[in-house]
């Protein structure tokens, strides 16, 4: 299994997908065409999303095909024939709902467990977890369930933030994760800060980027792990 799970697409003041593009290229290697899943887009069209990703991937010499161009009977075959699968960010609930409706979850899981490369950012990373329960997004639509692709055994919280804005009296991100752990005490949650990504090769997990990840589990003090630290326990 080969996964590149990116926290965010864009850093403040930078161009879209600029900071992770070299890691994406290194991960995809000689692949020249990918199948894109744009279903997290809500306020812009799937065509626009494909074009936006293509503009960056053209720098990498990679053509971006998109699942939304295929009719329902062709979608599963498109996933089977794809060299790699790329899932963009946006609203995680919308992404999961459309993937469930089109019966794509199991075929993506099957292909990735066979070794097909998968790249996701934000919502696209969150759906590789057992559930989407650690997303930050508003539930603007209702999926059939919160169960996702289940490629990794742990949960990811993309865009993880340490601070609470001045004047905000609501829960911090850490408190929200603690609530999740009260209901799911056996699961790990990886707070994946922006500019960071996890690369998974089979059961080997490596953090890439300038920031540490914050690891949570019920009954355990949160710990900070950086690039070079051992993350393989997440698959135990």
Instruction: For residue 137, indicate whether it is catalytic.
Output: yes
Predicted local confidence at residue 170, as pLDDT: 74
Regions of the chain with pLDDT less than 50: none
pLDDT of the residue at 166 = 73
d(C-alpha 41, C-alpha 26), whole Å: 26
Residue 201 annotated as catalytic: no
- Output the pLDDT for position 169: 67
Q: Is 22 a catalytic residue?
A: no
Q: Spot the catalytic one: 137, 166, 168, 202.
A: 137
Cα 52 to Cα 46: distance, rounded to the nearest angstrom: 10
Calpha distance 177→100 (Å, rounded): 25
Identify the pLDDT of residue 215.
Answer: 98
Q: What residues does each domain of the chain span? A: 2-163+191-215+224-235
The pLDDT, as a whole number, for residue 86 is: 98
Give me the CATH code for the 2-163+191-215+224-235 domain, please: 3.40.50.880
Q: What is the pLDDT of residue 203?
A: 84
Q: How far apart are CA 150 and CA 172, in angstroms?
A: 26
b/e map of 160-178 (b: 16 or more CB within 10 Å)? beeeeeeeeeeeebbeebe
Residue 118: C-alpha distances to residues 11, 86, 104 (Å): 21, 6, 14
Side-chain-side CA neighbours of 196 within 13 Å: the count stands at 23
Query: Of 159, 195, 196, 202, which residue is the catalytic one?
Result: 159
In whole angstroms, what is the distance from residue 124 CA to residue 141 CA?
17
Q: Of these residues, 122, 162, 229, 230, which one is catalytic?
A: 122
Contacts of 34 (CB under 8 A, 6+ apart): 28, 57, 62, 63, 64, 65, 82, 83, 84, 85, 86, 119
- Two tokens, residue 148: 């996702």
């Amino acid at each position: 299994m080969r996964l590149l799970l990116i926290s965010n697409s864009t850093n403040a003041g930078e161009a879209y997908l600029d900071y992770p593009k070299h890691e994406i290229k290194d991960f995809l290697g000689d692949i020249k065409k990918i199948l894109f899943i744009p279903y997290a887009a809500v306020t812009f069209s799937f065509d626009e999303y494909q074009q936006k990703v293509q503009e960056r991937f053209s720098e990498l010499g990679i053509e971006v095909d998109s699942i939304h161009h295929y009719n329902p009977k062709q979608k599963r075959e498109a996933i089977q024939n794809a060299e790699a699968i790329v899932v963009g960010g946006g609203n995680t609930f919308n992404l999961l709902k459309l993937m469930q409706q089109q019966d794509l979850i199991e075929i993506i899981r099957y292909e990735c467990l066979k070794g097909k490369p998968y790249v996701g950012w934000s919502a696209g990373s969150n759906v590789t977890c057992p559930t989407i329960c650690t997303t930050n997004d508003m539930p603007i639509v209702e999926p059939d369930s919160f169960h996702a692709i289940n490629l990794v055994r742990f949960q990811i919280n993309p865009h993880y933030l340490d601070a609470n804005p001045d004047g905000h009296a609501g829960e911090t991100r850490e408190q929200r994760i603690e609530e999740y752990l009260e209901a799911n005490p056996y699961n790990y949650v990886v707070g994946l800060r922006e500019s960071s990504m996890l690369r998974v090769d089979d059961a080997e997990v490596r953090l890439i980027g300038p920031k540490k990840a914050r690891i949570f589990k019920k009954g355990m003090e949160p710990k900070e792990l950086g690039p070079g630290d051992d993350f393989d326990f997440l698959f135990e």
